[in-house]
Structure 1
Amino acid sequence: MLTADRLGVLEAVPARELSDRDVLRERLARDGYLFLRGLLDPADVLAFRRYYFERTGVADAHGVPREVDRAEFRRVLFGEVVPGSQYGAFCAQPALRSWYEWFLGGETFLHRRKIIRHIAPGENGIGTATQAHYDLVYLREGTDRVLSAWIPLGDCPVARGGLTYLEGSHHRVLAEEAAGTLKRPAASITADLPSLADEYEARWLIADYAAGDVVIHTAHTIHAALDNVSDQVRLSTDIRYQLSTAPIDHRWQADWHDRDGL
């Protein structure tokens, strides 16, 4: 269990800073993340949420989980939803692409491997929940300046199991990457979040997310998913943009599949 000194609040970017690119870049370098409230139109987010639940059948319109045929679910998810035009348009919508172009200062590239995660109440642990990790361990063959966007597809209070970020962790990861002294170069660091917080002498930062919110984080920032202890499915997507002129990890240029080995 996390103690009070190992738990904190994920701070949203103040409204007065949202249009100041230099300040945002300084904030990202300092904190490793940018919590952007209301970057997307909630109506667009909720429309895609409805599409996903209607097409896959994993939950009703309110997010209450349903029993589904797993084989049929996988066929629809990986054969229709992931490569489909609705998901592609959502991830490349102007509100996202134009923000990245403005922030990065040039033409952007969206990695084709884009991930949709739905976590039902009570699902947790290895193989289900997102363990503590940083993204660079999956993206070794491209630039380390790739920026991930985590997008809750609908309201996501803490109890529903959104992402949590280890405060200041990117500074240590950057130093260890540069020095080649990483003790755990594996993709997932641990599922034991309290122990990792003690090791880093840092807090896990949490927030209640709303439809329309986006969290941008660096490839070196350690993050994990909380357990879903609510009565609704947690639905989210994570996608990655970078400058088109920077090296691109070719392994991420196919549609996501949970057996693609990445």
Structure 2
Amino acid sequence: MAATQSQPAPAHELYSPGPNELPRLRSNYGEYIDQSSTGWMKPTPIDTPLEEMRRRFDQDGYVWVKNVIPREDVLDMREHYFNHLSSTQILKLGTSPRDGIFNSALDPLAHHGVGGRDLPDSGKQVDLLVSAHATPAYVKFLEHPSLRSFIRRFTSWKKEGMVARTLLRHNVPGGLSTGIHYDRIFLRAGEAEFLTGWVPIGDCAADGGGLVYLEDSTELGKAMERDFWKRAEHMTPEERISGFNANMMRDGQLTHDMNDFMDETYVHLRSREAEGRKPRWLVGDYEAGDVIFHNPYLIHGSAKNEDKQGRIRLSTDLRFYEEGAALDKRWMQVWRPDDGL
């Protein structure tokens, strides 16, 4: 569908490095996605007018903002995290914690740290993942003035708040990645609409396990949520707000196979294809300092980490809200693996 003055082109349609540069992507299960089903996200420079940033966010469901946090501050946090995990020998011998290169002699399925219910079997590793969420360096990073001031400018909130339950997690090459979901699945108690900020802590190439977004999927996410509430009529109140209810996979995800998801939801997506815009999974080459903001209904997940340099993807998921909003109180405690979320 051609862009008009009243209907500008989606941000990702304005950026195309070239079809030969698109990476081959796959999720935890299933085959590689056909390259015709992938596309590039559009990066947004930090000095872009706020009105344009908000337009992109409203239209596309996300805005990928470059250089929100000084690069060296982000790399300092990366170095701190891998020093914190040094006893697990997760890093390749002789490499820097700042680079975060995976020790390929280890079993990737035993050294992942994607959070939620997909945790390593080692109790020691789990304890380190938990304690990483409370180190002074990480707590200070969450309060970074560059990030917080941008949130206030972008949202026009008088005062921003951030839920205490953040998700600081790593994804090693060949390990488990985050399944496909939309955030509202896990935030069903409370009326507050959250702004998610996904912060890559280090450079993350498009094939390095970073976030992928299903193009124009906000309305699909909202339709799925409406359908859930219809089917939830006979559930208990606890089951309704749980992301792990009978209508979900065991870990609360919609799927771990992006190809299957496209096939299963084709009826919802067909109208877009009829307009000549085949729905795609959008990816990006993220850099330290970037932050991607998205709404609670945009469908997304992570591709398998197949980084050519062996880099571990490290990131944190942050949820911001306006002070005074009705909150999901379950999210006001620091993450623990037994918190039911």
Q: TM-score if structure 2 supplies the norm length?
A: 0.69
Aligned ranges 1:149-160 → 2 under 5 Å: 149-160=197-208
Question: Cα deviation per residue 1:46-102 (whole Å; 9 max; x = unaligned)?
Answer: 0000000011113252312246893333323313x2112211111121111111111
Q: Is 1:241 aligned with 2:315? A: no
The one-letter amino acid paired with 1:105 is: S
Question: Cα deviation per residue 1:204-260 (whole Å; 9 max; x = unaligned)?
Answer: 001111111110010001101010112221111111101112111100011112332
In structure 2, distance between residues paired with 1:196 and 1:182? 20
The one-letter amino acid paired with 1:143 is: E
Deviation at 1:14, TM superposition (A): 4.9
How many pairs were matched up? 255
Identity %: 31
Q: Is 1:111 aligned with 2:163? A: yes
Task: For structure 1, list consecutive stretches of 5 or more residues without a partner in the other structure.
Answer: none
Match of 1:173 among 221, 229, 237: 221
The one-letter amino acid paired with 2:280 is: R
Q: Is 1:131 aligned with 2:174? A: no
Compared with structure 1, are the counterparts of its residues 236 and 253 closer, same or farther at alpha carbon in structure 2 (3 Å cutoff)? same
In structure 1, distance between residues paired with 2:284 and 2:231? 29
Tell which deviates more after alignment, 220-229 or 52-61: 52-61
Q: Is 1:217 aligned with 2:217? A: no
Q: TM-score if structure 1 supplies the norm length?
A: 0.89
Aligned ranges 1:75-90 → 2 under 5 Å: 75-79=127-131, 81-90=132-141
Larger radius of gyration: 2
Match of 2:71 among 23, 42, 45: 42
In structure 1, distance between residues paired with 2:299 and 2:192? 14
Deviation at 1:185, TM superposition (A): 5.3
Compared with structure 1, are the counterparts of its residues 123 and 28 closer, same or farther at alpha carbon in structure 2 (3 Å cutoff)? same
In structure 2, distance between residues paired with 1:44 and 1:175? 39
SS at match of 2:318: strand
Aligned ranges 1:1-262 → 2 under 5 Å: 1-14=32-45, 18-20=48-50, 22-57=51-86, 58-59=90-91, 60-61=95-96, 62-66=99-103, 70-79=122-131, 81-106=132-157, 107-124=159-176, 129-178=177-226, 180=229, 186=248, 187-198=252-263, 199=266, 200=269, 202-230=279-307, 231-262=310-341
In structure 1, distance between residues paired with 2:337 and 2:40? 31
CA RMSD of aligned residues (A): 2.3
In structure 2, distance between residues paired with 1:50 and 1:176? 39
The one-letter amino acid paired with 1:10 is: M
